[in-house]
Structures are given as structure tokens and as C-alpha cells.
Amino acid sequence: MLNQILHIGLDDTDSKDGMCTTYIGAVVVDKLKEVGIKLIDFPYLIRLNPNWILKTRGNCAIVIRVQATDEQIPIIKQITLETVEKLAELHHETTNPGVVFYQAKEIPEKLKIFSKKVIQDVVTLEEAEKLAREIGAEIHKFKLGRGIIGALAAIGETLKHDKTFELIAYRTPNNWGTKRRIDEKSVFKMNELTFPETFDNLDPTTGEIRITPHTPCPVLYGIRSEKPIVAQKAHNLVKVFEPIERFVIYKTNQGTDEHLREAKVTGIKPFWSVIVKGTVSGKPRVITGGHVIFKMRDETGEIDCAAYEPTRKFRIVVKKLTVGDVIRAYGGVKPKPELPLTINLEKIEILKLNPILKKANPICPKCNKRTKSAGKNKGYVCKRCKQKFPKEAAKLEEIPREIERGLFEVPPRARRHLAKPIVRVSFPKRAY
């Protein structure tokens, strides 16, 4: 009858037809509560490496942490596995769920390290299976079972350094795949009353509502927040014209920049997300499709940086950079055939603006007018009083820059789940 701590991880239950891992996690949570199982924390929604080619649509894994007796544990496992088998659309080739059960009061360091690697790098199924054997985790593979990688990673993520919350409301199954019926004015009002303690509700550049997905999944909307009580308040402010089947509040690593690592240019590997400090070494240029590309360099080498068309006004800032500007670039590196490695920008910090100097004709001290060229290598002449000046009289003047130092980000419509919005950088963190 002793109470045990059981960690339940699940992943890769998404499908192109719309099923999502967060919904299955929410169903499992509700079913466990119905039979009297006590959760010891909010369920966790953990976003994984956004650059990996085999990622699922939202690329998230779920972990549910419960306290249970020895007699309850078999019931918990049965509920979880039956729910995954029933709801995961296993007929899809790319849906390969994995479920992991792990009994432990503390998360071992090797599992935390594994979790970090899954969020920032590439991990094989063999690595996950080996780790599971070493720590005594129980794994269940459906089909290829690739989901055990994310399931283990979710269990290993403790969110000790930073966290946010997301309240997700789900539709009734008969409405899946239909247009979401939501009062848009209520979303604007909710944002007005809760921002910045909720964030990414709207895209200010377009007025687009960002809490509703555009896929046929069960999600009606998701509200991201700093505290669960604020997420609940925001949820109460949103008006909808269809029934809500259930909702859940997840604790999550969304909006934390956990996918990023500091790197030198020559150390960057494909599928990483990086923070690189360097100097602009190639003038920004616009290529086909409206994308803006420039080169940056550090002491180890040179790499391309890109602001793609969906980043909209963010590209205006990028286009105003010039050679010699010192910046810090944030973004993912996704390899493309026959193209050099490129940092796909999520944010850019301008640390130092390089002065742009222009040769200026001297000013006539008598007339206080700018002189004109007297001809090639003939110096300058004042058109009013005819006084002449040698060519050495010209001076270099600094041209005002059209940008300032600071941190700039892509708009919410182009922001990755893990990318930390600027509003969170300065927003004071509070306990919940």
C-alpha cells in the first residue's frame, strides 16, 4: 500500500488527420482523476527539437506525474495504454507512439541530460532504449515506437530554470475538422485585460488571432501564460459558439528558449538552434520570395543568416544592418540540399552599430553654404563668393542610422513554440 511516484511519458501520437498528443494526455489525466489517482503537479507539455526532420506536427511530448499505491499502478498503466491505443491514429505511417512508465522520487542526472539533448539535438531510438534499460524505465512501443524518445525526454524535464503555462480547450469530436467558432472580439478583450501575463494571443502586425490552430486537430484554442491562475482568467474571458469537451492546464517549456545553445560558427551542427555573437560581414540582400540573407562572422568562420518572408516587418530591421555591425543571432539551423548552413533567425540583438561615414564637401565659412566640386582633383568652389578650397578640405561625416541597438524578434505568426518572446525577457517572474 506504499505510495509511489510514477512518471507517465507519451509521445508521437499525432497524425496528419488531426489527432494530437496534448489531447490524448488530457484524456489520460481526466480518466486517472475519475478513478481517484492523485496528480502531484500539473501535467507537463514539453516541446522538443524544432529542427528535427522526423518531428511531429507540434513536436511535443507529455508527462503526467502521479502518486499511487502499488495496487493502483497496474490500473494507471492499463488506462494509459488503452487510451493511447484507442485514440492514436495508428494507421498513419508516421504515427509511432511510445509510452514510458518510470517509478522514482528523483529524476536521475543522466535522464535530465538525455532530455536536454532531445530538445537541442538529435537522438536515436537505440539511445533511448539503452537509457531506459539503465534507469529501469518501462517502455511500450506502438509500431516503430519512436515516441519513447520524446516520452523519456518529457519525464527528464523538470522545468527548474524557466517555465510557462498553457491552457488548452478541446472541441467535441463531431466538430473536429470544421471551422472554429470563436468570438474574435472576446479574444482582443482577453488580450487587453491579461497581456503581458498572457502572451502571443494576437499578432500585432496583422491583427491575426493566434490562440486557435489552423489544423483539423481537437484543439479549440490554447492560451499561454506566466501563471495558471491567469490562464484560467483568460479562458473565462474567451467566448465561443460551440461546446468545449474538456480543458487542461499544462506546465511547459514553451517560450523559454530552451532549444538554443551558444555556439561558435565552425562548431554549429545541422539541426541545432544556436545563439551566435559576431559581426555582419556581408550586406543584407533580398532574394526570390522576399527572403533577406546576410553573412555574419566570428573569430572561427562565416555563416549565412536568413529572415524569411513570413517574418514580415522583422525583415525591415535585418535589411538595415551593414557590414561591421556587431550582433547576436538566435535561430535554428536546418540543412538544405546544395545550400550552405544558414541560421534561420528567430531573434536578433544589435549590440553595436558600425558608423557609416560619407565624404562631405566643405562649407564656405563666409557664406555658410556647402561648396561644389571644382572638377576632378581641383578641389571645391563656393558658387556664391567663388572662394576655392583644396580637395583636402573635404571631411568625413557620420550618416545617421535608421536602426538602433536592441533586441528584435519575429512576429507571433512566425514564432516557434520554444522561442522566448521579448515580453518575457523583461517580465518579472513570480511564483504560482
Residues 6+ apart with CB under 8 A from 227: 165, 197, 430, 432
pLDDT category, 59, cuts 50, 70, 90?
Answer: confident
Q: What is the pLDDT of residues 23-46, one digit of tens each?
A: 999 999 999 999 999 999 999 999
Using CA atoms in the order 12, 169, 9, 4, what is the torsion angle rounded to 10 degrees?
Answer: -160
CATH assignment of 3-156, among 3.30.70.2200, 1.10.287.110, 3.30.565.10, 1.20.1250.20: 3.30.70.2200
pLDDT category, 430, cuts 50, 70, 90?
Answer: very low
The CB-side HSE value for 80 (13 A sphere, CA atoms) comes to: 31
pLDDT exceeds cutoff 60 at 186: yes
CA 316 to chain CA centroid, Å, is 21
pLDDT exceeds cutoff 80 at 404: yes
pLDDT exceeds cutoff 70 at 55: no
Neighbours of 344 (CB within 10 A): 23
Take residue 404 and report the three cell numbers written for it.
538602433
Output the CATH code of domain 164-252.
3.90.600.20
pLDDT exceeds cutoff 70 at 1: no
Q: What is the pLDDT of residues 110-122, one digit of tens each?
A: 999 999 999 999 9
Take residue 216 and report the three cell numbers written for it.
483539423
Q: What is the pLDDT of residues 266-321, one digit of tens each?
A: 999 999 999 999 999 999 999 999 999 999 999 999 999 999 998 989 999 999 99
The architecture (CATH level 2) of 260-353+402-415 comes to Beta Barrel (2.40)
CA distance 342 to 339: 8
